[in-house]
């Protein structure tokens, strides 16, 4: 459940921030960096930003106590459904087994 939540939050993060995601400008050092180094640094920067943002979203979600709310909703739904299932069962019984 937790892995699914992390993946969902991460996918939502990427979907929301993909247009606004820009490479941060770095101060050019005296030595020129190689292409591989630039790509590696950019990938690390993207990864760290994504992980930090996803962690922030997870912390805010945990603050909402969604697991507890989902559990309560499930319990209430099962109570209501058991009541209505009993009513339907009783009606079907009286339809098929009418007094003779």
Rounding to the nearest 10 degrees, give the CA dihedral for residues 81, 84, 90, 91. Answer: -130
Dump the DSSP string for 65-76. THHHHHHHHHHH
What band does 1 get if pLDDT is binned at 50, 70 and 90?
low
pTM of the predicted structure, to 2 decimals: 0.36
How confident is the prediction for the chain on average, in pLDDT? 78
Q: Where are the domains of the chain?
A: 32-64, 65-99
pLDDT in tens, 41-56: 888 889 899 888 888 8
Could you tell me which of 63, 40, 49 has the C-alpha nearest to residue 16?
49
Q: In this predicted model, which residue has the larger pLDDT, 80 or 2?
A: 80
């Amino acid at each position: 459940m937790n892995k699914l939540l992390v993946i969902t939050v991460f996918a939502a993060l990427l979907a929301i921030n993909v247009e606004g995601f820009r490479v941060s400008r770095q101060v050019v050092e005296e030595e020129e960096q190689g292409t591989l180094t630039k790509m590696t640094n950019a990938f690390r920067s993207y990864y760290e930003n994504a992980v930090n943002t996803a962690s922030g979203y997870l912390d805010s979600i945990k603050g909402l106590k969604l697991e507890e709310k989902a559990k309560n909703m499930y319990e209430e739904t099962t109570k209501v459904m058991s009541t209505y299932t009993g009513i339907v069962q009783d009606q079907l019984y009286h339809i098929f087994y009418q007094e003779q």
